[in-house]
Amino acid sequence: MREKNSLVPLKLLLFSFHGANTMMVSFLPLLLTYRGLNGQEIGWVLAVGPAISIISKPFWGFMSDKYQTVQKILKIIAFGLIISSIIFLQMQTLALILGVAVLFYFFSSPIGPLADSLTHRRAEALGVSFGSIRTWGSIGFAICSLLVGGLLDWIGVQYLVIPYVFMATVVLITCFYLVDVKVETEPVHLRDVKKLIKNGPLLLYLAILILITVTHRANDSFISLYIGQLGGRDSLVGWAWFIGVASEAAVFAFANKWFRRFHPLIFMSIAGFLFAARWFMYSLVSAPIAVVLLQVLHGLSFGAFYLASFHYVTRLIPDELQATGHLMFMTVFFGISGIVGSLGGGFIFDHYGGQTLYLIMGIMALLGAGLILTYHTFIRQR
């Protein structure tokens, strides 16, 4: 399985990690509700992950670039993920949950970005599309959201630790079979990171992204509670994520056929407008099944937006700092946005309800899409 050109280990890593991640995104809010936490307290817990990722993602990305290996770093992180998840998912009180969440997210948050960075490098080295490999993460997310939703309906959400640790163990085993991509550059030093910090176009681009990515992360945190607020069962949450991520997998799989026809920023702005339309429709529904069916727009909004933004940010990052730059991008896309989305979304959800939350998210996405078009015009003039 560890042949030089084999992509099987990498696809299995993406499948297993995102399969585990669906349990955190889809069912952790339900577990926290079972523990007795309210919407705002759940927002605090969910904000720990993005907050810690601001430190952990650049740290592990820099370590990967410094020692020129993704595979060895992933093995260390995956082992820490298993140990921390066993403890985290069994905590009962808010104080203990928040404390252990710091350790858990320190290990869980860098895995996806490092895997995507390795996927991009392997795709470039073998001449295949990034999306055709990355789609296996979406497939894992979709399948596990459906299976775990049914399982938790049967055994109870309090046993979430069992399927999660199983998938995390698969992640660790798979890491031993990954193939690194050697980058023909000198190992980086801490002072080299200044190249990213002083990159004006990169920083402006990341600042604009936040308007849309905040809405995406708020939806990740509260869609399960919104479905519950509308009267849906846990299994319906699983179906919502299955439909959404299945559409995302289709976009990733076929993106190479249309992606090169236009500039990535054009695709990002179109996806931004689709985000806005999606949130506005969510704010108008009154039945949980409507939210589930509208999840088909997840692929056309998030799938296209993520692929286009990842490709474009790669153009702005020096070759020797690819892992660090990609994790910096992920820190904004999922980290800073996650803090704002979780804390702000928790407050709005608790005080004004899910429909108001999605209405505000629609306005933010609409503004973000317009600014991306403006940024694209500015870059072309430059």
Helix H, strand E, coil C: the string for the chain is: CCCCCCCHHHHHHHHHHHHHHHHHHHHHHHHHHHCCCCHHHHHHHHHHHHHHHHHHHHHHHHHHHHHCCCHHHHHHHHHHHHHHHHHHCCCCCHHHHHHHHHHHHHHHCCHHHHHHHHHHHHHHHHCCCHHHHHHHHHHHHHHHHHHHHHHHHHHCHHHCHHHHHHHHHHHHHHHCCCCCCCCCCCCCCHHHHHHHHCCHHHHHHHHHHHHHHHHHHHHHHHHHHHHHHCCCCHHHHHHHHHHHHHHHHHHHHHHHHHHHHCCHHHHHHHHHHHHHHHHHHHHHCCCHHHHHHHCCHHHHHHHHHHHHHHHHHHHHCCHHHHHHHHHHHHHHHHHHHHHHHHHHHHHHHHHHCHHHHHHHHHHHHHHHHHHHHHHHHHHHHC
d(CA 201, CA 172): 37
Task: Specify burial of residue 186 (Cβ count, 10 A radius: 0-12, 13-18, 19+).
Answer: exposed
Q: Which residues, 6 or more positions from 212, have their beta carbon under 8 angstroms from its beta carbon?
A: 272, 275, 305, 364, 365, 368, 369, 372
Average pLDDT over residues 297-308: 87
Give 273-298 pLDDT, tens digit per residue: 999 999 999 999 989 999 999 999 99
pLDDT band at 368 (very low <50, low <70, confident <90, very high): very high
pLDDT of amino acid 20: 93
Of the given ranges (39-48, 72-81, 199-208), which has the lowest mean pLDDT?
A: 199-208
Does 184 score more than 60 pLDDT? no
pLDDT of amino acid 289: 93
CA 84, chain centre distance (Å): 19
Average pLDDT over residues 62-88: 90
pLDDT of amino acid 276: 96
Give 37-53 pLDDT, tens digit per residue: 987 888 899 888 888 88
Average pLDDT over residues 125-145: 84
Does 95 score more than 50 pLDDT? yes
Average pLDDT over residues 304-329: 77
Q: Which residues, 6 or more positions from 187, have their beta carbon under 8 angstroms from its beta carbon?
A: 65, 66, 67, 68
pLDDT of amino acid 247: 87
CA 144, chain centre distance (Å): 15
Angstrom CA distances, 1 to 4, 56, 65, 138, 209, stand at: 9, 30, 25, 22, 38
Tokens of 86: 């066993």
Of the given ranges (110-119, 177-186, 328-337), which has the lowest mean pLDDT?
A: 177-186
Give yes or no for a contact between 238 and 146, defined as CB atoms under 8 angstroms apart.
yes
pLDDT of amino acid 1: 45
**Of residues 167 and 376, more confidently modeled:** 167
**Of residues 258 and 367, more confidently modeled:** 367
Parse the chain into domains and list their residue ranges.
8-180+188-381
Average pLDDT over residues 132-136: 86
Of the given ranges (28-32, 72-76, 85-89, 378-382), which has the lowest mean pLDDT?
A: 378-382
Tokens of 172: 């660790």
Tokens of 60: 């592990």
pLDDT of amino acid 59: 86
Average pLDDT over residues 106-125: 87
pLDDT of amino acid 182: 65
Share of the chain above pLDDT 70, in %: 89
Count of CB atoms within 10 A of residue 184's CB?
Answer: 7
Average pLDDT over residues 123-139: 84
pLDDT band at 77 (very low <50, low <70, confident <90, very high): very high
pLDDT band at 135 (very low <50, low <70, confident <90, very high): confident
pLDDT of amino acid 251: 82
Task: Specify burial of residue 243 (Cβ count, 10 A radius: 0-12, 13-18, 19+).
Answer: buried
Give 225-272 pLDDT, tens digit per residue: 899 889 887 778 878 888 888 888 888 777 666 666 677 888 889 999
**Of residues 94 and 130, more confidently modeled:** 94
pLDDT of amino acid 38: 85
Q: What's the mean per-residue pLDDT of the chain?
A: 85
pLDDT band at 107 (very low <50, low <70, confident <90, very high): very high
d(CA 164, CA 167): 5
**8-180+188-381 carries CATH number 1.20.1250.20:** yes
